């Protein structure tokens, strides 16, 4: 009678456990690490994207949510397998892009350094909104859609929470967009440009909005 293959032994061991470590498999099955890694790959097992990739799950074990993530306690697995690929997909699919804080909370692991690396590699785009950084899709058209949505969300939230009632999102959004198009314009120049567009924001209104978003803008010379 032939002995069970390493793959069969791994499956049998993992059936009783949601996740396992390489050390557990090595101790229980007496197989070398190189054999275990090869067999885990053959079986299509998922490797955790956090906890230093220590944990494995059988291919049919994860019950992925709509965003492609599955957690067993604090251990995270992704339909996209690697953390790098997961971040690229999550950012691309986010209607308004995503901040490092939002992604860290979602993935339950720090991702700021990896996001910065992906931006340098041009796999993601990175823009500033006040003192916050927003990551966006690398595709230019998708990127603009996301940033516009982020501006709308931020403007609506700001108006509801703190800005004077006279400053509606309909006036805040064009101002933020104009700052992106013309970053060197002074407060007075921005106010004049918006007035030409039929948006009656006076320089003090512009200053109030910029102060709320912690944005700096030079005064007219």
Q: Is the pTM of this model over 0.75?
A: no
What is the token pair recorded at 16? 């009783």
* H-state helical runs in the chain: 6-14, 22-29, 33-42, 83-93, 100-107, 112-120, 140-161, 169-181, 187-196, 203-212
Radius of gyration from C-alpha coordinates of the chain = 25
The pLDDT of residue 77: 98
Place of tokens 């929470």: 161
pLDDT band at 155 (very low <50, low <70, confident <90, very high): low
Residue 221 confidence (pLDDT) above 60: no
The pLDDT of residue 163: 61
**Burial category of 55 from C-beta neighbours within 10 Å (exposed 0-12, middle 13-18, buried 19 and up):** buried
pLDDT band at 217 (very low <50, low <70, confident <90, very high): low
> Using CA atoms, how far apart are residues 178 and 121, in angstroms rounded to an integer?
28
**Averaged over 63-75, what is the pLDDT?**
96
pLDDT higher for 11 or 196? 11
β-bridge partners, 54? none
β-bridge partners, 134? 127
Q: Give the number of residues written for the chain.
A: 221
What is residue 51's DSSP assignment? G
pLDDT band at 219 (very low <50, low <70, confident <90, very high): very low
The pLDDT of residue 169: 62
> Using CA atoms, how far apart are residues 108 and 93, in angstroms rounded to an integer?
19
The pLDDT of residue 14: 94
Which H or E element spans position 125?
Answer: strand 124-129
Residue 218 confidence (pLDDT) above 60: no
**Burial category of 207 from C-beta neighbours within 10 Å (exposed 0-12, middle 13-18, buried 19 and up):** middle
The average confidence (pLDDT) of the chain is 87
């Amino acid at each position: 009678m032939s002995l069970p293959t390493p793959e069969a032994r791994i499956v049998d061991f993992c059936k009783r456990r949601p996740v396992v470590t390489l050390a557990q498999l090595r101790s229980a099955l007496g197989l070398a690490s190189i054999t275990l890694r090869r067999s885990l790959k053959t079986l299509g097992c998922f490797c955790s994207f956090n906890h230093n990739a220590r944990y494995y799950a059988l291919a049919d074990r994860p019950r992925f949510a709509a965003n492609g993530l599955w957690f067993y306690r604090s251990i995270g697995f992704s339909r996209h397998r690697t953390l790098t690929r997961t971040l690229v997909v999550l950012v691309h699919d986010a209607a308004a892009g995503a901040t490092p804080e939002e992604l860290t909370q979602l993935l339950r692991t720090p991702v700021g350094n990896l996001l910065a690396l992906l931006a340098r590699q041009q796999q993601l785009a990175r823009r500033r909104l006040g003192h916050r950084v927003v990551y966006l899709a690398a595709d230019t058209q998708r990127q603009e859609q996301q940033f516009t949505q982020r501006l709308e969300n931020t403007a609506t939230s700001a108006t509801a929470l703190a800005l004077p009632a006279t400053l509606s999102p309909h006036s805040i959004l064009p101002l933020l967009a104009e700052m992106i198009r013309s970053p060197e314009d002074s407060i007075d120049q921005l106010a004049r440009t918006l007035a030409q567009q039929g948006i009656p924001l006076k320089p003090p209104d512009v200053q109030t909005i910029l102060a709320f978003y912690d944005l700096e803008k030079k005064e007219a010379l």
